[in-house]
Amino acid sequence: MIELQQITKLFFAGTPNEVKAIDNINFKAKRGHFVTIIGSNGAGKSTLLKAITGVVPVDSGSIKLEGTDVTNLPEHKRAREIGRIDQDPMASTAGEMTIEENLAMAYLRGQKRGLSCAVNRKRTERFAEVLKDLGLGLENRLEVPVGTLSGGQRQALALVMATIARPKLLLLDEHTAALDPKAAGLVMSITRRLVESHGLTTLMITHNMEQALKYGNRLIMMHRGKIILDISEEEKKKLSVPDLIAKFTASSGSAFNDDRVLLA
Amino acid sequence: MESVIISGLQQGLIYGFMALGVLLTFELLGFPDLSVEGTFPLGAAVTARAVVEGVDPLAAVFMGAVAGGIAGAATGIMHTKLKVNNILAGILTATAIYTVMLRTMGRPNTPLLAYDNVFGQVLGWFGQAESQASIILILAVIVMAARVLMGWFLSTDLGLAVRATGSNERMIRALGVSTDTTKMLALIISNFLVGLSGALACQAQGFADVGMGMGVLVAAIASVIIGQTLFGKSKLSIVLTGVILGSIVYRAVLATALRVGLPAEDFKMITAVLVLLALTLPNIALKGRVDSLMPGLLKGINGNNAKSGYRPESVADMGRQEVDR
């Protein structure tokens, strides 16, 4: 469960360029909920996820993860409970290191790292097992540097890395945006499978309206640092992309202006 | 010819420790640590003072290496805690070390020929006399031990975190690692090895001098590049052994230059040209031409750069079993 209370974040505070990236947001997602987040450019979606991970410190408000206040914890201390993947396929894996080395690092998410051998047989057996579920044949290529994989393969591996240590929260920031449609579809189906099998609380930003409607059991829409729409699973099922655009225009009083948004 | 080989081996092995240290910071951690220009002579200065004070040579060499490690920690604290730029932090440490050396030795230069050295001491345990060959043998054994230890460390959970700090800092932080800690650790290990290198150098040449750190960094970088150019960089184990061999090759080339009569004042220019050639030759001259005639021939030498391994155009090929490298 993730709970945000009155979170506010200003950029360039006190200057003429001051931006309210997050404006007094209250939000709560129950354990196992898969929430999709959409919104126009500069709505504060990514800042919101960065505030939760601790990359961006908030100005005020509190962040609770499974009941524990993590507002003032540094990023690396929150990491034990939070798995995350960014848009850039290079960002969530270490390209110079092998698949098994990447997995070994993720395996110890948030734990103390000592001088025992990182890649041992017990671990590689486990890695091969989880990779096999992806159906990409990566289990036969454990000793290959991740830099030689395609973007889609890297994001699929990143998903396994984000979930292998069973975090309490999974944050996805447009993790399929840099992929072609085929790879994006594959990564999304892997996402759904992993989220459901682990019962993970998940927040997923997407600029793909159809994806936002198709996946997850709740949809929120952000505009200028605020949550302007919160749509439940039942309501979401009945919506089409044009309905969603119409709702946005009605709630925000402005046209939907994401230059990358996919309406189809 | 024989003197070239002996000189190349002895010098190359001594500076091989430093090359290993520089590989750790510059290449694996992505931290251009300039403090090594100071920690190398610091290792020598501390060892010299200790030997003069009557400390057992082996203990004195160890003290020199530890001094290097402490200086590395100083650079680390400046960078991680005080948020000083990494290059500047190294320069500040190297500058401050100059005073530390003068204070340690009490003067800019300490001759050590009148004292027992570490090689004679260790060889004495085995009942061997000190000779060029026996010194090289000892050096080879301990440099290989350092190489093995380094290879082991870099394959542990902690070592992986250090490498990931250089490869993808954001990712390893997201996995719960304090990159301040991994950077500190790598700087300490690296400068310990550099200090050890300086300590052994003063023992081999019979004196310590505050100026002996000048140009050692470029020599170490040359060793790393030569190692990777000649032996490849596809696997970490190859890279680790490669830098030591690269250091030997580099010193042998310098010894050859001296042997054919090039004046000593030209050494720095030769060094710079050598590094430039090692860096660019495989890319321009060889690779371009040979690849057009026989594609793939030079892959083992310079083509398998994992850093450029990500190919956005192949995103569509998800699920392929083989990668055509």
Q: CATH number for the domain including A86?
A: 3.40.50.300
Q: Touching check for B325 and chain A: CB below 8 Å?
A: yes
In a domain? residue A143:
no
In a domain? residue A82:
yes
In a domain? residue B252:
yes
Question: Residues of chain A whose pLDDT is less than 70?
Answer: 257-264
Read off the pLDDT of each residue in B292-307 and give the average, rounded to a whole number.
Answer: 44
In a domain? residue B251:
yes
In a domain? residue B312:
no
Judge: A148–B172 Cβ closer than 8 Å, yes or no.
Answer: no
Count of residues for chain B? 325
In a domain? residue A136:
no
Judge: B318–A76 Cβ closer than 8 Å, yes or no.
Answer: no
Which pLDDT tens digit goes with each residue over B177-222? 999 999 999 999 999 999 999 999 999 999 999 999 988 999 999 9
In a domain? residue B321:
no
In a domain? residue B81:
yes
> Can you give the residue range of the structural domain that contains B73?
2-307
Q: How many domains does chain A have?
A: 1
In a domain? residue A224:
yes
Nearest Cα of chain B lies from the Cα of A105 at a distance, in angstroms, of: 7
State the Cα–Cα distance between residues B76 and B233, nearest whole angstrom. Answer: 27
Q: State the pLDDT at residue A261.
A: 64
Judge: A95–B171 Cβ closer than 8 Å, yes or no.
Answer: no
B129 pLDDT band (50/70/90 cuts)? confident
Which pLDDT tens digit goes with each residue over B95-123? 999 999 999 999 999 999 999 999 999 99
In a domain? residue B145:
yes
Q: How many domains does chain B have?
A: 1
The interface predicted TM-score (ipTM) is 0.89
Nearest Cα of chain B lies from the Cα of A230 at a distance, in angstroms, of: 29
Q: Is the pLDDT of residue B311 over 70?
A: no
Q: State the pLDDT at residue A258.
A: 63
In a domain? residue A141:
no
In a domain? residue B314:
no
| Cβ–Cβ < 8 Å for A236, A35 | no
Nearest Cα of chain A lies from the Cα of B240 at a distance, in angstroms, of: 15
Judge: A136–B318 Cβ closer than 8 Å, yes or no.
Answer: yes
Q: State the pLDDT at residue A259.
A: 60
Q: Touching check for B299 and chain A: CB below 8 Å?
A: no
In a domain? residue A142:
no
Q: How far is CA B14 from CA B43, B151, B201, B262, in A?
A: 13, 19, 6, 23
Q: Touching check for B324 and chain A: CB below 8 Å?
A: no
B286 pLDDT band (50/70/90 cuts)? low
Q: CATH number for the domain including B286?
A: 1.10.3470
> Can you give the residue range of the structural domain that contains A71?
2-91+151-252
